[in-house]
Amino acid sequence: MQTAWDDAEHVEVVALGVWWSHMASAHAFMACDIEAMSGGFGLHWTGIGAAQIRAVCALQRIPCADWPDILADVRYMGSEVAIARNRRQQQKEG
């Protein structure tokens, strides 16, 4: 894994190698948006919802038999991104 800082946006850029068996999950993940809730407490990142992942799988014509594995992979990746974004938000506020 390699990390670098994108100075234009002050965002950490991470380059990962993906195993062939997880390529469909990586493509689905890249097509999804990380969801967030906002309110009096500010912005809270929640990850990627199952409906969004199913829609992406259908649009990318991924075989239905592969959807459960892709759902699990993408939900995990989305939750990790949400955790990192929430942590970064707390550091900025604190």
For residues 80 and 70, what is the distance between their CA atoms, to the nearest angstrom? Answer: 15
User: Is residue 54 a part of any domain in this protein?
Assistant: yes
pTM of the predicted structure, to 2 decimals: 0.77
**What is the rounded CA–CA span in Å between residue 78 and residue 49?**
9
CA distance 36 to 53: 15
Beta-carbon count within 10 A of 88 CB: 13
Closest by CA to 43, choosing from 87, 11, 78, 74, is 87
Segments forming the whole domain that contains residue 72: 22-93
Q: 10 in a domain, yes or no?
A: no
Q: How many domains does the chain have?
A: 1
4: in domain: no
Residue 15 in domain? no
Render pLDDT for 37-86 as a digit per residue (tens, 0 to 9): 998 878 899 999 999 999 999 999 999 999 999 999 999 999 999 999 99
Contact 10, 45 (CB under 8 A): no
32 within a domain of the structure (yes/no): yes
